Structure formats: C-alpha cells, structure tokens
Amino acid sequence: DVCLTIDGFSVTVPEGTTILKAARQVGVKIPTLCYLEGINEVGACRICVVEVEGREELVTSCNTPVEEGMVVRTNTPAVREARRMTLELILANHPMECPTCPRNGNCELQNLAQQLNIRTVRIPALPRKELPLDTSTVAIIRDPNKCIVCRRCESVCHNIQTVGAIALQGKGFAATVAPVGGRYLDETNCVQCGQCALVCPVGAIYERDDTDKVWAALADPTKHVVVQTAPAVHVTIGEMFGLPVGTDATGKIVAALRRLGFDAVFDTNFAADLTIMEEGTELLERIEKGGVLPQFTSCSPGWIKFIEHFYPELLPHVSTCKSPQQMFGAIVKTYYAQLKGINPANIVSVSIMPCTAKKFEAARPEMNASGYRDVDVVLTSRELGRMIKEAGIDFANLPDENYDDPFGIGTGAGQIFGATGGVMEAALRTAYELATGKTLPKLDFVEVRGMKGIKEASVELNGKTIKVLVAHGLGNARLLMEKLKAGELKDYHFIEVMTCPGGCIGGGGQPIPTTTEIREKRIAGIYERDKNLPYRKSHENPAIKKLYEEFLGKPLSHKSHELLHTHYTP
Ligand code: HC1
C-alpha cells in the first residue's frame, strides 16, 4: 500500500492507484472530461490537473499513480485557473448551440462549465470552418464541429470493439476524431453499434432521430401503427425519468405508448421466445445431422455486421434465424394482418430498441420476406424518452398497463435476452426440455450470467455434453473467432455473441450515462423481472404455441423459413 496526503488528509491506497481515485476516498471529486474509467485514462484534456509538492508542473490526476509520501493539492488558485483556462479554450472552439443540441441537458461539457462556475469565456471565439455532418449511415450522425477530441469514441471503437472505424485526424484546433482518410462512416468497417455515441461527452456523435416518422404515422388515420418493446428497454428507460437504475418500467412503457397513440402495443419478448423455438431447433438439428458447429447466435446486428466485415469465412456458423425484432415484424405484416383483416400496406411497424444498429438491421434490403418491410421505423430508448417528454406524459407516475393480445405474452426467457448470456440461458432452458422430454431441475444457468468478458457452461443432453460459450463486446467476440480459426473450439456447440458490453442493456441507444456500474444494476433488473414472470421458458409461452398451431406449423417449417430466417452473403 501507498500512503499520501491529499488536501491535508492522509490516505492509504493500493500501489498503482491513480491520484483521481485516491482523492475520491477523501471525498474529493476531481473534475474530469476525457476520462472514462477502464476505457480512456490518458490525461488528454488536462481538466483533472492537480498540484504535487516538488513538481514544477501540474499533473493529470486520472493517469498519474500515487507515490509514497506524495503531497497533493486539488483545489489551489493555480489548479482552478489551469482548469478554467483549459475549459475556456475548449469552449472558444465549440459551437454554442446548446438549446438545439441533442445532448442539451445531458452534456458533460455543459455540466463542467457549471461545475467550474464559468460565466464568461475570456478567449475570443476561434475562427472555425463549418464542417459537414456525416449522415452516411442510417444509425449514427457525426458532427465533427462539436468534437472536443477527448478520444473516448476512438478508445471504445478500437480497444473494446476492435473495429477501429474512427481515429484522430488533423492537428491542433482543427483536430477531430473521424474515419481515416476523410471517408464517411458507411465507407468504413463501422458496425453502427453506437458505443461511440454512448461515451461521447458532447453532441459530436449521436443516434439518427427518427421520431418525426413515428409522429407522422401516429397522426395518419389510414395507418395502423404497431409497436414492440425490446427486453433491455424495460429496465432502462425509467432512468430518463428519474426512476432508480434497474427499475422494471414495463407497465409504464405500455401505458406511455398507448397514450402516444399506438394502435397495438406488443412485447419483443414474445419474438425472443419465437427465436428460441427456431434457433434451439436449428441447434438440435445441426447437432443431430452433423451441421456446421459451433452455431453462433444471430440476434445482435452489430455482431452480424462485424462477422461480415472481419470473418466472412465463418458465416456458415451463424444461425439463419432473423433477430426477434425482425421476426416480430414479419409476423405482424402476415399473421397479425390476416387476423385483424388489415392490409399490411397500411401497417406501420415500429420497434423500441436499446440499439442503434437495429436501425441498420431493419433497413437491410433482405428484411422484407412478407413483401413489406418487417420493421418500418426503429427508435432507440433515448428517442422514445424524448417523445414521451415532448408529449408531456408524466412517465414516473403512469399506472402499469398490460400489453395487447395476441403478442403480449413474453416469458422470462425472452426477458433475459437483454443481458449478456441471456440468449444462451433461454436456449438451454428450452433445448434441454425439448431434447430430453424432462423438466429442468434448475432453471438458472448462473455460469453464463454477469460481466465477465467470456463465459462458459455445459449441459448434459441425452448422454451428450453440450458445451457453450458467451461473449459480449466485439473485442471478446474477436478472441473467440481467432480461437475458432485456430481449431481450438472444435468441441463447442453454441456461442452467444452480443455486440455491446453487458449485452443489450448496454446498447448504443440506451440512456446516457451507461457505465459498468449502471450496466450491472440493469442486469440485476433483467433477472429480477425473469424471476417474477408467470412463464420462464419460451416453449411454455401460450401465445407461441398458438402461433405455431394457427400459422407456422412447427419450428423450421417452410413458412418459418420463409418469414423468420435469413441468409448471409460473404
Ligand atoms: Fe436486444 Fe434482441 S435482446 S438484440 O439485445 O435478440 O437490441 O433488448 O430487442 O431483436 O428480443 C436489442 C434487447 C432485442 C432482438 C430481443
């Protein structure tokens, strides 16, 4: 351990601790801007500077380790002036468009200016060239004018996702983080996961806003507007309305969507159950018939784009199942349209997703097997939150309401799709019971839960050991792909990959901030809801049974293949 003094208080911390973290132990929260724990600890912005006795220059506390006997001062005139000057320089080079910026009210630069009590910027505004926005993708908008070069987005894209679509470009006041060589995002390997948008402290990278399309559909009396809500949204959207992190707000989401004017409010959990029926059966068939193994999950669209870019030769491993979002859309435009006697051309299918890449997935040209787009508009959690606010709905005080029939029943297995390991656990619950005809003695596969990057489990099926792996965050997926290519995963049968750290609860469209601690609380909320639902296994969902009886026949039927499965072209 190392003993030091911070602002006159003695503190003892383990060797290697940074001054920033040590200061928190004595109740001092040193301001930061570029710092992001575990992702970006580079001291680039110099907001976190402090004085260290014996050193001539101020030091950045976020990346300077403590030393024995160190005497640190965090709040001296020199420190305050240095922080202010740094911030004023950033502000002099930043567009002052706060009222119309997508991050207004939730901007770290704005908050910091308040925290440092900045009332005037003493430096004249720097002459800036107005740079064009990058609107090349359907999911993410880049506004280079607002970039403060903190490089968090670059760190997350390179180090966590190993995609490397953006990097530091240019120098000095003209510097920005952007695709290499002046390209647009859609000309790179960007998988549109939106993790960059989640960590951007300002409004330099954000989700494309599609709320106007939904308002227009809701106002059009000729349209029947159907909405589905993703598992991970249930436990996160409350954060935008002051509810504690991890609160299950499913009933309030339903109530809010009804008040916004949707004609039918459905649960994506239902389609997650449908996915398990199809994907579990596909797995059992691959095992029996000697198909390509291990099978990979296919519900996370950033992961699909990742494997298409980086490992196209491994595409035969990917399940042919569409994601729950897309399966839902296909069923709405066929079975549901028939059931209600509505022309599918007049149905607008909206989904509320924790994910920016879902916008990309819905726009893929092949996602229209019914003759109509499976899903017409995808809104992220953040966009729905804004619609609810715009409509003046008092979300936190809404009553809990139930989903509509016939797709209002989702099981706990569908619910846990929203957390890393959840798809695997849901699949095991069903595959075990379908393959053995026995009831599972214990439903919870805790080995595949939690924030560990790569997890492993096995289950006995009729005398055969089925081995599974779970990865979340594309860097972890890459590790598994390299092992597979090296022939090290030959005995494995099924691999779940979720693009975002923590799974969909940590998706790029989720409320900001999304930190590791917040992810953990959201995950706890997911498993809590699973525990409390009346059905916890996909194959026991009565609405799913009915759909097979009345429409699809059985898993992997001709109709299922046509509507619920897809193909990948390297
Ligand atoms: Fe997900 Fe999925 S779990 S991909 O993370 O399979 O986005 O929540 O809706 O489609 O069900 C996201 C979440 C979501 C799909 C399901």
**Catalytic residue status for 456:** no
As for ligand 1, residues whose beta carbon falls within 6 Å of it are 230-232, 268, 272, 299-300, 323-325, 353-355, 358, 417-418, 503-504, 507
Work out the pLDDT band at 81, boundaries 50, 70, 90: very high
**Beta carbons within 8 Å of 161's beta carbon, 6+ residues apart:** 191, 193, 195, 473, 474, 475, 499
Q: Where in the chain is the domain with CATH 3.10.20.740?
A: 2-75
Work out the pLDDT band at 569, boundaries 50, 70, 90: confident
Q: Which fold has domain 128-207?
A: Alpha-Beta Plaits (3.30.70)
Q: Could you give the percent of the chain with pLDDT greater than 70?
A: 100
Of 353, 356, 364, the residue with max ligand 1 atoms within 8 A of its CB, to mutate for a pocket test, comes to 353
Q: What is the DSSP string of 379-409?
A: EEHHHHHHHHHHTT--GGGPPP-PPPSSS--
Q: Which SS3 state, helix, strand or coil, does residue 293 take?
A: coil
**CATH, range 2-75:** 3.10.20.740
Work out the pLDDT band at 90, boundaries 50, 70, 90: very high
Q: Convert the pLDDT of each residue in 368-416 to its tens digit.
A: 999 999 999 999 999 999 999 999 999 999 999 999 999 999 999 999 9
Q: Where in the chain is the domain with CATH 3.30.70.20?
A: 128-207
- Ligand 1 centroid to Cα of residue 195, in Å, is 16
Give the DSSP H or E segment for 5: strand 2-6
Q: Could you give the percent of the chain with pLDDT greater than 90?
A: 97
The pLDDT of 514-534, averaged and rounded, is 98
Q: Which atom of ligand 1 is nearest to the CA of 361?
A: 10
**Catalytic residue status for 321:** no
Rg (CA), the chain: 25
Q: Tokens 């240019």 sit at which residue?
A: 170
Would you state the pLDDT for residue 129? 81
Nearest CA to ligand 1 atom 6: 299
Q: Convert the pLDDT of each residue in 526-548 to its tens digit.
A: 999 999 999 999 999 999 999 99
The pLDDT of 21-40, averaged and rounded, is 96
The pLDDT of 499-518, averaged and rounded, is 98
Cα angle 204, 323, 511 (rounded to 5 degrees) comes to: 35
**Catalytic residue status for 146:** no
Of 227, 328, 504, the residue with max ligand 1 atoms within 8 A of its CB, to mutate for a pocket test, comes to 504
Q: How many CB atoms lie within 10 A of CB 211?
A: 15
**Catalytic residue status for 150:** no
Q: Where in the chain is the domain with CATH 3.40.50.1780?
A: 212-564
Q: Which of the residues 154, 279, 383, 496 is marked catalytic?
A: 279
**Catalytic residue status for 521:** no
- Ligand 1 centroid to Cα of residue 506, in Å, is 11
- Ligand 1 centroid to Cα of residue 233, in Å, is 9
The pLDDT of 347-352, averaged and rounded, is 98
* Secondary structure (H, E, C), 483-510: HHHCCCCCCCCEEEEECCCCCHHHCCCC
The pLDDT of 252-267, averaged and rounded, is 98
**Beta carbons within 8 Å of 387's beta carbon, 6+ residues apart:** 211, 214, 215, 260, 379
Tell me phi and psi for residue 238, to 5 degrees.
Answer: -55, -30
Query: Do the Cβ atoms of 430 and 280 come closer than 8 Å?
Result: yes
pLDDT of 28 higher than 90: yes
**Beta carbons within 8 Å of 364's beta carbon, 6+ residues apart:** none
Q: Which atom of ligand 1 is nearest to the CA of 328?
A: 10
Least confident window among 150-164, 168-182, 295-309:
168-182
pLDDT of 173 higher than 90: no
> What is the residue-averaged pLDDT of the chain?
97
The pLDDT of 56-62, averaged and rounded, is 98
- Ligand 1 centroid to Cα of residue 189, in Å, is 22
- Ligand 1 centroid to Cα of residue 432, in Å, is 22
**Catalytic residue status for 401:** no
The pLDDT of 330-335, averaged and rounded, is 98
In terms of pTM, does the model score above 0.80? yes
Work out the pLDDT band at 126, boundaries 50, 70, 90: confident
The pLDDT of 435-445, averaged and rounded, is 94
**Catalytic residue status for 504:** yes
Query: In whole angstroms, what is the distance from residue 442 CA to residue 433 CA?
Result: 12
The correct answer on CATH 3.40.50.1780 for the domain covering 212-564 is: yes
Q: Which atom of ligand 1 is nearest to the CA of 268?
A: 11
pLDDT of 246 higher than 90: yes
Would you state the pLDDT for residue 127? 85
Q: What is the DSSP string of 401-437?
A: -PPPSSS----HHHHGGGSTTHHHHHHHHHHHHHHH-
**Catalytic residue status for 61:** no
- Ligand 1 centroid to Cα of residue 354, in Å, is 8
